[in-house]
């Protein structure tokens, strides 16, 4: 409808798991060079944007008390960054329906940043190219570009320079969600502390892992999963070892900490096993809740737009 005014746009954005997270030594700017293989998984946040007198944020979901509702929220920062580029006022209400664990190592905050960016771009009819949006995403945070893109990708630099990876089949995951979050900077600091006095190798993507994604081979992927932040997350939260063991005992092909944690991730051979592993994890009492999720999942997607 030409000349119509968008009044409401809703965007769905996936969580991620890092199937390989190779971490290099700390750089002069405090970040770490990574070889970061992202896989988007089917747990989603939804961002709804509507016009408003001022920029404001509301949130619903189980972890709502931990979500900042001020200008520090990545969704607010995304709206401000996009508006600044186009010389407009970011006068919107951003509502976040939050299903991705907060501070869980699954890029939930990054998802909200990418989602708000696409939602505002659509509401304001800016029609930005994907390259322009990815550029703003990279300013917002290392994981935000991948939240926009979805699927699977190798991220280098601090994780924001992406090369998409074709995935040859679906994977079945279970995520055990812990009580309370872990701060990403403190997990990287613990990584640095544990690495003190050792030569940290340059991070490189594992060809066997990339091949497993390309062929959709769950068994090969399971044997290639690695996360260099796992020892740091376990050092800060030793009880995660019990969750990892419970999932493996219940029949997962492999288990690992998701990103900086404390969510733990379990790859299974099929959907039925994923359900069984989720039930066993819940019964083990080693996590707050357990969720099954397929992968790969699409990136940020407009699922509703209303105009008048």
Instruction: Determine phi and psi for 284, rounding to 5 degrees.
Output: -70, -20
- According to the binding rule CB under 6 A, does residue 44 interact with ligand C5P? no
Segment interacting with ligand C5P, rule: CB under 6 A, options 31-39, 51-59, 78-86, 169-177: 31-39
Identity of the residue, 145 or 247, whose beta carbon is nearer to ligand C5P in the bound complex: 145
CB of 225 to ligand C5P, least distance (A): 19
Please pick, among 112, 143, 166, 179, the residue that the annotation labels catalytic.
143
x/- letters, 273..292, toward ligand C5P (CB under 6 A): --------------------
CB of 72 to ligand C5P, least distance (A): 11
CB 106 within 8 A of CB 259: yes
Size of the site for ligand C5P (CB under 6 A): 12
User: What is the rounded CA–CA span in Å between residue 243 and residue 134?
Assistant: 35
DSSP SS3 for 120 = helix
x/- letters, 131..170, toward ligand C5P (CB under 6 A): ----------xxx--------------xx-----------
The interface with ligand C5P within residues 167-206 (CB under 6 A) comprises 184-185, 188
**308 exposure class (CB count in 10 Å sphere: 0-12, 13-18, 19+):** exposed
User: What is the rounded CA–CA span in Å between residue 99 and residue 180?
Assistant: 15
Edge-first strand listing for the sheet containing 171-177:
254-257, 264-268, 171-177, 289-295
- According to the binding rule CB under 6 A, does residue 34 interact with ligand C5P? yes
Active site residue 242: no
DSSP SS3 for 144 = helix
- According to the binding rule CB under 6 A, does residue 12 interact with ligand C5P? no
In the DSSP assignment, the letter for residue 201 is P
Please pick, among 16, 98, 112, 228, the residue that the annotation labels catalytic.
16
CB 142 within 8 A of CB 31: yes
Identity of the residue, 143 or 190, whose beta carbon is nearer to ligand C5P in the bound complex: 143
Segment interacting with ligand C5P, rule: CB under 6 A, options 29-37, 199-207, 265-273, 295-303: 29-37
Active site residue 16: yes
Identity of the residue, 158 or 291, whose beta carbon is nearer to ligand C5P in the bound complex: 158
- According to the binding rule CB under 6 A, does residue 32 interact with ligand C5P? yes
Q: Give the list of residues 6+ apart from residue 173 with CB closer than 8 angstroms, or none.
A: 17, 41, 265, 266, 267, 268, 274, 292, 293, 294, 295
User: What is the rounded CA–CA span in Å between residue 95 and residue 303?
Assistant: 14
CB 143 within 8 A of CB 105: no
- According to the binding rule CB under 6 A, does residue 99 interact with ligand C5P? no
Active site members: 16, 143
Footprint of ligand C5P on this chain (CB under 6 A)?
30-32, 34, 141-143, 158-159, 184-185, 188
């Amino acid at each position: 409808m030409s000349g119509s005014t968008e009044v409401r746009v809703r965007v769905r954005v996936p969580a991620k798991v890092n199937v390989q997270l190779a971490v290099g030594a700390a750089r002069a700017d405090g970040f770490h060079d990574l070889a970061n293989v992202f896989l988007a998984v089917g747990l989603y946040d939804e961002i709804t944007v509507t016009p408003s007198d001022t920029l404001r944020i509301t949130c619903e979901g189980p972890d709502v008390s931990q979500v900042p509702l001020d200008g520090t929220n990545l969704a607010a920062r995304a709206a401000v960054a996009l508006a600044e580029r186009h010389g407009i006022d970011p006068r919107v209400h951003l509502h976040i329906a939050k299903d991705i664990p907060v501070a869980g190592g699954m890029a939930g905050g990054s998802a909200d940043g990418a989602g708000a960016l696409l939602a505002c771009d659509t509401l304001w009819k800016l029609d930005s190219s994907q390259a322009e949006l990815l550029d703003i995403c990279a300013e917002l945070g290392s994981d935000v570009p991948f939240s926009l893109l979805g699927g699977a990708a190798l991220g280098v630099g601090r994780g924001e320079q992406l090369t998409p990876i074709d995935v040859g089949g679906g994977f079945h995951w279970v995520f055990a969600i812990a009580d309370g979050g872990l701060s990403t900077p403190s997990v990287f600091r613990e990584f640095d502390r544990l690495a003190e006095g050792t030569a940290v190798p340059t991070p490189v993507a594992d060809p066997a892992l990339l091949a497993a994604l390309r062929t959709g081979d769950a068994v090969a992927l399971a044997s290639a999963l690695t996360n260099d932040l796992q020892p740091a997350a376990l050092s800060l939260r030793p009880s995660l070892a019990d969750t990892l063991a419970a999932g493996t005992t219940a029949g997962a092909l492999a288990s690992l900490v998701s990103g900086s944690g404390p969510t733990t991730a379990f790859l299974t051979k099929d959907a039925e096993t994923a359900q069984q592993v989720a039930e066993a994890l819940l019964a083990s009492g080693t996590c707050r809740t357990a969720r099954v999720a397929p992968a790969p999942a699409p990136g940020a997607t407009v699922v509703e737009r209303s105009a008048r």
